[in-house]
Structure 1
Amino acid sequence: MMVSVAALAAVVFSVLVAITLGPADISLVNVRDIVTNHLGLTDIPVKMSKDAIVWQERLPRALVAAASGVGLGICGVVMQSLLRNPLADPFILGISSGASTGAVVVGVLGIGGAAFGLSGGAFVGALLAFGLVLFLGRLAGNGTDRVILAGVAATQLFSALTSFLIFAFADSDETRGVMFWLLGSFEGVRWNDVALCAGVVLVGAALCTHFAHVLDAFTFGDSVASSLGFDVRRVRLVLLIGTALVTATLVSVAGAIGFVGLVLPHAARLLVGPNHSRLVPATAIIGAIFMVWVDAVSRVAFAPTPLPVGVGTALVGVPAFIAIMARRGRDR
């Protein structure tokens, strides 16, 4: 219980400190006053400019960053368990690329915009991409290594489709905006984005927590899970659709952010072990803190031009992944 409270406190503290970073002079006291004012707990006079910066810009951005870290992290946990492959994550398996293509089809071409919106288009693209990965993996023999190779192929295919659509149909302003978004960006997020991301991620986290004991069984193979009485196909379908939904929603808001789902589950395993009842919440906490700080540093490091957050996660994630793999290799 104390560990859970301390972990949540670390997330809240990270969000509050991240809000203070930037060209405007905003202190933790200002942040506290503004947040409590909007929650109806206090009525402390605060400059309107500071109130707008905190409540309309930085707080929604920090919360979406935290939700993205949680969602992508637990998606990585699910993928690595279901496929029994430490390299599995939504980015490598083509889900992020497919979601990007679906969002660009809606955003640039306007196809299905009224019916789907960016999130709906991204969800359809994510499902198509992952369906293609499973199909190619089955053609190649259904080994987990073959699924990873199929994911690499799907990633390249949908990345090429996205680039083609932007090159052929987007004007120069749209191209700049879309390309920056595809590298991962929390610029311009608002409270409706917070509600969307938080709602979907909470559902995904609850789903993963509910099936934590099943994920433990999946790490030993389908036959073991089936012998324990689990409906392997149904559980896999539910979890994969949930993963696609979470990934698609986050991509539609923040673009394709890589390495989060790959690296953070390994970091969490080093701390709490492989048991999914502990691994899922640990990954969620680490993911929230990690993404809040990566976004904060990306926002101020090259101010006034923000560094795309996907670039930040790659710069941190690749060395971290190398270090984790080297440690795992020494421990064997």
Structure 2
Amino acid sequence: MKHVAIAVSLALSCVISFFIALKLGAIAITTEQVLHALWHYDVGNFSQKIIIELRLPRVILAFIAGSGLAMAGLILQTVTRNPLADPYLFGISSGASFGVVVLFAITGIQAGLALSGAAFAGSLLAMTLLLLIAEGRTSGQVEAMLLAGVALSFLFSSFTSLLLYWSDPQAISAILFWNLGSFSRADWQWLWLPSLVVSGCMLIMLLLRRPINALLLGDESATTLGVSVEKVRLGMLLLSSLLTAVLVAMCGGVGFVGLMIPHIVRFFISQATTLGLITTAMSGGLLMIWVDVIARISFENQELPIGVITSAIGSVFFLFLLMFRKRSS
């Protein structure tokens, strides 16, 4: 009952935060205007147009992005049995960013399926290199993957900087703004893509919950239980790459969400359950809604990049986590 109460409270917090996020911004909007816009949208009403066409897709994208990144972090932490695993630290996010920047620099495309395809190609390249580096390491494989992920993250970041150096000034400004992270590009036309990917990945994780959780017992124990360890691990790594790629293509570089949220949820509820997975997704969405609100209201007539806020919060959390683990050991 305690876990159910936590999940219900979290769901209510998400709904309340959703309405508050629609109210806050450069233009003050009342609760009555928000409810009226959601119930009966008037195209000629300026306030309702702001709510429906600008803020609503943005808040939805923020929630989806937070949920997806939290799930990607949970996947990596489960299949590698490493509590420090994260798409950002494993180089997946940097690889996806590199793929998008290459597409930016060559074609100038800044939206659409091509962007997601380029991001997925970059993240897949990062994951392939990661697996090749860790292949054959029976001892310390998880540690090798983490260290290799950090190295690959720096490697792809250097390639991205090199491309920026060779690009024209107009492309550089667009790439830099995108790479810092923002939900300002949220659009009803492309919102279906991250929604479909995140909901589909959650369904797959729920269906494969038992073999995924078996990996936490170790490869030998999972094999004894009849789990094909290599297939499950590879499939989950590809799933994490897909999640990260689509969200990076839509939102830019947003780090540390996949590291923080699974850890926070783990203090209150077991993530080996269906309720734990749903709670992790909701917690990630709730965090990103408020990060987006902070980004919009911190400065007048100016928007703070999402990646700056998440990196600031995540780096402090990461240091705190390392200190806590050191004291526990």
TM norm. shorter chain > 0.5: yes
Secondary structure at 2:304 match in 1: coil
Paired letter, 1:148? L
Gaps of 5+ in 1: 39-44
Paired residue type of 2:11 = L
Compare 170-179 and 55-64 and name the one that shifted more: 170-179
Taking structure 2 as the reference length, what is the TM-score of the superposition?
0.91
Match of 1:94 in 2: 91
Deviation at 1:303, TM superposition (A): 2.6
Distance apart, 1:33 and its partner CA? 1.1
Q: Which amino acid is the alignment partner of residue 36 of structure 2?
A: D
Q: Does 1:23 align with 2:21?
A: no
How far residue 105 of structure 1 moved from its aligned partner, in angstroms, is 1.5
Matching of residue 261 in structure 1 with residue 258 in structure 2 = yes
**What is the CA RMSD across the aligned residues, in angstroms?**
2.3
Deviation track 1:244-278 (CA, whole Å, cap 9, x = no partner) reads: 11110000010111000011100010010352433
Structure 1 residue 185 and structure 2 residue 182: aligned?
yes
Aligned pairs (5 A) from 1:60-79: 60-79=57-76
Within the candidate set 153, 157, 169, 1:159 is matched to: 157
Residues 70, 285 of structure 1: 8 Å contact kept: yes
Measure, in 1, the Cα distance between the counterparts of 2:168 and 2:18.
36
- 2:196: which partner in 1? 199
Q: Distance in 2 between matches of 1:148 and 1:125?
A: 18
Contact kept, 8 Å, 2:119 with 2:248, in 1: the verdict is yes
Change (3 A) 1:184 1:139: farther
Residue 272 (str. 1) matches residue 269 (str. 2)? yes
Q: Which residue number in structure 1 is paired with residue 50 of structure 2?
A: 53
How much does 1:331 deviate? 5.8
Equivalent pair of 2:66/2:284 in contact (CA under 8 Å): yes
Change (3 A) 1:319 1:111: closer
In 2, are the aligned partners of 1:259 and 1:317 still within 8 Å (CA)? Answer: yes
Does 2:305 align with 1:308?
yes
Equivalent in 34, 38, 43 of residue 37 of structure 2: 34
Structure-2 residue corresponding to 1:172: 169
Question: Which letter does structure 2 place at the counterpart of 1:166?
Answer: L
Cα deviation, residue 317, structure 1: 2.1
The 5 Å alignment of 1:312-327 reads 312-327=309-324
Give the aligned residue type for 2:29: I
TM-score, normalised by the number of residues in structure 1: 0.91
2:105 to 86, 104, 108: 108
* Residues 7 and 275, structure 2, Cα contact 8 Å, conserved in 1: no
Name the CA distance, whole Å, in 2 between partners of 1:139 and 1:160.
Answer: 28
Distance 1:54 1:289 in 2: 19
Partner Cα separation in structure 2 for residue 113 and residue 180 of structure 1:
12
Shift of 1:8: 2.5
Q: Which amino acid is the alignment partner of residue 32 of structure 1?
A: L
Name the structure 2 match of 1:145.
Answer: 143
- Kindly provide the CA deviation profile for residues 205-231 of structure 1, in whole angstroms up to 9, marking residues without a partner as x: 111222222222111211111111111
Give me the whole-angstrom Cα distance separating, in 2, the residues matched to 1:30 and 1:193. 26
Residues matched between the structures, number:
325
